Amino acid sequence: MGKPSSRSGTFKEGLAAVSATGHSRLGVNVDHVATVRNARGGAHPDPVRAALLAAEAGADGITAHLREDRRHISDGDIERLMSQLRVPLNLEMAATDEMLKIALKYKPHAVCLVPEKREERTTEGGLDVAGQHNHLAPYVRELVGAGIRVSLFIEAELSQLDASKSLGAPVVELHTGLYCETPVGPAREKQLKRLEVAAAHAAKIGLECHAGHGLGFDTVEPIAAIPTLAELNIGHFLVGEAIFVGFAPAIARMRAIMDAARAGLST
Ligand code: PXP
């Protein structure tokens, strides 16, 4: 997420942003703290408190997905995150007029546009940027125009990267779900290769590249080792692991695995 100043996203700037910090940034997604809260309809556990704790524990930014059905994060959570967070907020949202209005009201550091189907349990696939070019263009334009760093959540396909670039989005986030779900072995290696090729292509065409979805301690290392990935967004695993070891230790361990991977050390 970094400083909200650099918007142009050239290859050199992208790499400089990565190497300046020496690690890929960790965005902690607090959606599922809200899922647990909402199960009882009260105020506990509070995703904003979790976000503040995550920042203290080493998160470089906080990610939250305001869904159309508000099944986890609420509008009030976004308002409180904006007023209390001292690290950047990455708001995930669908490309709809309702969400655009909310993003323009709060002006988070970043907006990640994601596909959203009401019946899905989680974000199932990437945006079809190539196929939805005309639908997405005005949303990207308005958000970029408001000074918000826009990223598009896509599958690791070169056509989707090229379409994202032509749309004027400075950032893409590669969907790591398929890689994480594929059993260890040649098929998993193939998915990893796809992500590596896509991340290299993103850098080549001047897009800052992020990745996320489904990552855990067992899957994050080779992803964090990809040199042109500037940021990983991780939520569900960390919130689950918090039950066993606590949120801060889970985040600290994730941070350590990511840093070791970037430094070429295996944990
Ligand atoms: N990145 C994006 C764009 C997402 O939609 C999600 C899930 O909300 C994540 C990252 C985090 O995925 P997970 O909760 O599986 O770590």
In a domain, 67, yes or no: yes
Known active-site residue 213: yes
The pair phi, psi for residue 46, each rounded to 5°, is: -90, 120
In a domain, 65, yes or no: yes
**Could you tell me the CATH number of the domain that includes residue 19?**
3.20.20.70
Ligand 1 neighbour 212 (Cβ under 6 A): yes
d(CA 1, CA 106): 17
In a domain, 193, yes or no: yes
Tokens of 238: 């960390």
Task: Write the pLDDT tens digit of every residue in 208-263.
Answer: 999 999 999 999 999 999 999 999 999 999 999 999 999 999 999 999 999 999 98
Residue 112 exposed, middle or buried by CB count within 10 Å (0-12, 13-18, 19+): buried
d(CA 108, CA 247): 24
In a domain, 194, yes or no: yes
In a domain, 112, yes or no: yes
Helix axes 133-145, 158-167, angle to 10 degrees: 50
pLDDT of residue 117: 73
pTM: 0.91
**Quick one: average pLDDT of 47-71?**
97
Buried-exposed string 25-53: b where 16+ CB fall within 10 A, e elsewhere: bbbbbbbbbbbebeeeeeeebbbbbbbbb
Calculate how far, in angstroms, residue 10's C-alpha sits from the geometric centre of ligand 1.
25
Residue 113: domain span: 11-262
pLDDT at 73 over 50: yes
Tokens of 70: 């508000």
Query: In which band, very low, low, confident or very high, does the pLDDT at 9 lie, cut at 50, 70 and 90?
Result: very low
Known active-site residue 72: no
In a domain, 161, yes or no: yes
Number of domains forming the structure of the chain = 1
In a domain, 68, yes or no: yes
d(CA 49, CA 58): 15
Ligand 1 neighbour 65 (Cβ under 6 A): yes
pLDDT of residue 7: 33
Query: In which band, very low, low, confident or very high, does the pLDDT at 264 lie, cut at 50, 70 and 90?
Result: confident
Calculate how far, in angstroms, residue 29's C-alpha sits from the geometric centre of ligand 1.
7
In a domain, 74, yes or no: yes
pLDDT of residue 74: 98
Ligand 1 neighbour 31 (Cβ under 6 A): yes
Catalytic residue among 23, 65, 72, 175: 65
Cα–Cα nearest to 252, from 238, 266, 237, 236: 238
d(CA 200, CA 195): 9
Known active-site residue 65: yes
Query: In which band, very low, low, confident or very high, does the pLDDT at 21 lie, cut at 50, 70 and 90?
Result: low
What's the chain's average pLDDT? 91
Ligand 1 neighbour 61 (Cβ under 6 A): no
